[in-house]
Amino acid sequence: MQSTRPTVEANSAEPPAGRLAIEAENVHVTYADGTEAVRGVDLTVGAGEFFGFLGPNGAGKTTTIKTLVTLLDPTRGSVRIDGYDTTDESQAVRESIGYMAQETSVDEELTARENVRYTCEVYGVPKGARDDRIAELLELVGLDDVTDQRAETFSGGMKKRLDAATVLVHRPPVVFLDEPTTGLDPEARLRFWEYLQSINDRGTTVFLTTQYLEEVDRLCDRLALLQDGEVVTTDTPAALKSAVGGDVLDVTLVDAADTERATRAVYRSDAFDAATVEPTDDGLAITAENVREGINELFRALDAAGVAVTGFDVRSPTLDDVFLRLTDDELESDGDDATRKLEVAR
């Protein structure tokens, strides 16, 4: 059996026609110690889009977002936000954006209302408009019943929502959020997603960096996947998932230590015309066209190899599969990993 790795075509999805909120061209950022954190990033995000910026730890997400919000100048390349150049027109850019950094900027000693009021003052929101603006934003993020409680009594999720309210006080058309849901429990994350959805529904462009594939799948119109400072692909979640091709068969093994032996058995068998096999926490994920038709043959092959199976499930590809595929392709160009992969495939 031949192993094929369908590649996901890079940069195939364009932003919707109309005004662009973010235009990054060939952006490079090299830190003073020589670290090339961002290496030629191109991004175009349309006004009103919800755009996900995904990548593993250290991929360069924070460095890129800091460049987009004028906190860092690109070493090479250019960025325009809402039509303004981040280097030459940085003040106009700052007035057009809200930026929520990874660390919350909430003042714990102040109440929710005082926090938002303080930010209104900083951004010069007219005095007469402040009360309405504060009430509107605290309602938007679901903190209207705790407006007069000090932030130190809030949960992590509530502090994040308060922080998110403060970045909107000047009604910016574009907001940047750097991993806003990291560390939140599932319920708090869900609440936060609702909030993000509602600010996007108001027409605000949202640029969200995250490590959570599910988050991107649920919220984003399009996403870019960043790896080692480079954009590996840009597309809609649906297009990326369908580009994986076929369905996924998850196989759970009695002993997870058998994964490599099982992978070899799958590749050697005639179960599928073409398949990719990825290790999972408790077994294998096999992706192939007509994956159901190969199940019997697969189990015979695993049995012959002495690999015991506890269960299986056929499902549609998720973004995790896309991510595994793309990062795997990347690994394959690396000498040691290419060797390891070949050994497994043999």
Residue 31 within binding range of ligand ATP, rule CB under 6 A: yes
* CA distance linking residue 163 with residue 344, whole number of Å: 48
Residue 316 within binding range of ligand ATP, rule CB under 6 A: no
Smallest distance from ligand ATP to CB 54, Å: 10
Decide whether 58 or 124 has the Cβ nearer to ligand ATP.
58
Candidates 62, 210, 263, 269; binder of ligand ATP (CB under 6 A) is 62
Residue 37 within binding range of ligand ATP, rule CB under 6 A: yes
Closest CA to 231 of 10, 6, 50: 10
Residue 60 within binding range of ligand ATP, rule CB under 6 A: yes
Smallest distance from ligand ATP to CB 37, Å: 3
Residue 98 within binding range of ligand ATP, rule CB under 6 A: no
| CB-facing half-sphere around the CA of 8: CA atoms within 13 A | 30
* CA distance linking residue 289 with residue 245, whole number of Å: 7
Question: By CB under 6 A, which span of 30-38, 145-153, 278-286, 298-306 interacts with ligand ATP?
Answer: 30-38
Candidates 2, 17, 33, 346; binder of ligand ATP (CB under 6 A) is 33
**Length of the chain as a residue count:** 346
Amino acid identity at 107: D
Smallest distance from ligand ATP to CB 224, Å: 12
Residue 323 within binding range of ligand ATP, rule CB under 6 A: no
Smallest distance from ligand ATP to CB 182, Å: 8
Strands 97-100 and 247-253, sheet pairing: unpaired
Candidates 46, 48, 55, 180; binder of ligand ATP (CB under 6 A) is 55
Residue 59 within binding range of ligand ATP, rule CB under 6 A: yes
DSSP 306-340: T--EEEEEEE---HHHHHHHHHHHHHHTSHHHHHH
Smallest distance from ligand ATP to CB 12, Å: 23
CA dihedral 38, 42, 46, 52 (to 10 degrees): -40
Amino acid identity at 23: E
* CA distance linking residue 88 with residue 240, whole number of Å: 36
* CA distance linking residue 327 with residue 320, whole number of Å: 10
Given the rule CB under 6 A, which residues bind ligand ATP?
Answer: 31, 33, 35, 37, 55, 57-63
